[in-house]
Amino acid sequence: MNFSNLDYIVFIGYIIGIVSLGLWVSKEKKGHEKDTKDYFLAGKSLPWWAIGASLIASNISAEQIIGMSGSGYVVGLAIASYEWMAALTLIIVAKYFLPIFLEKGIYTMPQFLEIRFDKRVRTSLAVFWLLVYIFVNLTSVLYLGALALKTIMNIDLIYGIIGLALFSSLYTIYGGLKAVAWTDVVQVIVLIAGGLVTSILALNAVSGGSGWLDGLGALITEVPEKFDMILDSSHPSYAELPGISVLIGGMWIANLFYWGCNQYITQRALAAKNLKEAQNGLAFAAYLKILMPLIVVIPGIAAFHLQADIIKPDEAYPWLLSRFVPVGLKGLAFAALIAAIVSSLSSMVNSTATIFSMDIYKQIFDKSASEKKLVRTGRIASAIALLIAVFVAPNLTTLDQAFQFIQEFTGFVSPGILAIFMFGLFWKKATANSALWAAILTIPLSAGFKYLTPELPFIDRMGIIFILLSILVIVITLMEKKGFDSKAIMINKKLFETNPVFNVAAIGICGIIAVLYILFW
């Protein structure tokens, strides 16, 4: 990609601006030293718009922009189910999960599991999350980001990986969640603006210069097979998106786990000023999720229509950047891509540090650790997590569609974790032993099904594993015959009452999703 001086100014200015903002918001008043509430929960001061923006910036990363564009190139609009069903999931999580989490005043999701069950469950799930964050999430984001740098700017993969890790670390390790969340507000604006520029220009190319609306119409008319939301069993990608079970099966497991039980997502809501701000923030994020396929899926379909000269599907988005984004706008479009990568990296790094410090270090190694020591431990954990990911990321070069890789291997732990949370939240009889066995068996069961029934779509596998582990939780609990568990969550209808703004927003989300699926069934 040929960058003009203006492109370099925009891109370099963005990097300097984000780092400066991150360091500035991280500054503490004279005489005040960062404590765990400041570092891990941004001082519990985030308003709804910052929560919603940070959620999307953390979620939309290289695996979405590059990975979902690659899946759009291969599969089509059906991959947008991850985005549109996520919007519905955000509403469910906001109404039924957040009131309980915020009432308990937790820092981490494993901490909630100790409150509800016991320390064994907390520690085992903390270890699971650390492994997934470091060896799946961080490594894949670094790899895909470096792949974009290689394709667009011809930077060697390893240098791209190191550069992205350093960029993220410049303000994240020092500033904690406050730096991450407030820079995310800027990053999501850049992400959406730059992403829309790329999509509009790609669609304009499809229409031969007649405008992006004509281009979108041409795609729907000329490649209609790419606009089927529900795939039939004869489709080559049925194994990744198995028809109607996407709507009623395992996709719910993936989404409820990700948006309701996932530390680096829920941590933003835990940092809210209050429950109302947290719920409105999730509703705001849900509307942004509806918009995302225009930015992360349609470009891949456009690249397919334009017969992109690429080797791997994940090269579709960088190809569009290099071919159709003109001088003067390339800096903005590329800054958007880097914004998505770095915001997700920063979020994952901070949540890894939070879990390690609060759930591993404090609970196992130093129960009396001071606030200052826990913050320092978090910073050290951040640096080590990034370092490990830098060494592992180059090994992902054999991947074809990275987005599907992330979904499948995260799906090894999501059924068990979701089962534990669902029964812990909403079944008063569930016991610690039943939760522990669900945690222990989720990976072996998932791996066993993958290798014994390789033809079974992984989304269906997640649904089956979730049902089996749910049965296990019920059976073990009933065998223990304890009645209501002593640590059961006591809930009432009043706890789930929501404000009028959230209610109207939720109805709007449901209506829009219904219309989209009717149009593209």
Across the chain, which distance is largest between two alpha carbons, in Å?
Answer: 72
| Each residue's pLDDT tens digit, 127-185 | 988 988 888 888 888 887 887 777 777 788 899 899 889 888 887 888 888 888 888 88
pLDDT band at 393 (very low <50, low <70, confident <90, very high): confident
pLDDT of 394 reads: 86
| Each residue's pLDDT tens digit, 344-361 | 888 888 889 999 999 999
Q: How many CB atoms lie within 10 A of CB 220?
A: 15
Residue 441 falls within a domain, yes or no? no
pLDDT of 298 reads: 92
Q: Can you give the three-state secondary structure of 144-192, one letter per residue?
A: HHHHHHHHHHCCCHHHHHHHHHHHHHHHHHHHCHHHHHHHHHHHHHHHH
**Average of per-residue pLDDT across 34-44:** 80
Query: What domain range is 17 assigned to?
Result: 5-400
Residue 448 falls within a domain, yes or no? no
Residue 431 falls within a domain, yes or no? no
Q: Is the pLDDT of residue 314 over 80?
A: no
Q: Is the pLDDT of residue 454 over 70?
A: yes
- Whether the CB-CB separation of 345 and 164 falls below 8 Å is answered with yes
| Each residue's pLDDT tens digit, 233-289 | 888 888 778 888 888 888 899 899 989 998 878 888 888 989 999 999 999 999 999
CATH of the domain at 17: 1.20.1730.10
pLDDT of 326 reads: 81
Residue 504 falls within a domain, yes or no? no
**Average of per-residue pLDDT across 501-518:** 94
C-alpha dihedral sign at 505, 511, 515, 518: positive
**Helix, strand or coil, per DSSP, at residue 262:** coil
- Whether the CB-CB separation of 65 and 296 falls below 8 Å is answered with yes
| Each residue's pLDDT tens digit, 52-105 | 998 988 888 766 777 788 888 988 898 888 899 999 999 999 999 999 999 998
Counts for the chain of helices (H) and strands (E), in that order: 26, 0
Q: Can you give the three-state secondary structure of 285-354, one letter per residue?
A: HHHHHHHHHHHHCHHHHHHHHCCCCCCCHHHHHHHHHHHHCCCCCHHHHHHHHHHHHHHHHHHHHHHHHH
> Please, what is the average pLDDT of the chain?
86
pLDDT band at 399 (very low <50, low <70, confident <90, very high): low
153 or 414, which is more confident? 414
Domain count, the chain: 1
Q: Please state the pTM of the whole predicted model.
A: 0.89
pLDDT band at 228 (very low <50, low <70, confident <90, very high): confident
Q: How many CB atoms lie within 10 A of CB 40?
A: 27
Residue 423 falls within a domain, yes or no? no
Residue 500 falls within a domain, yes or no? no
Residue 197 falls within a domain, yes or no? yes
Q: Is the pLDDT of residue 33 over 80?
A: no
| Each residue's pLDDT tens digit, 476-488 | 999 987 788 888 8
pLDDT of 25 reads: 80
Residue 475 falls within a domain, yes or no? no
pLDDT band at 404 (very low <50, low <70, confident <90, very high): low
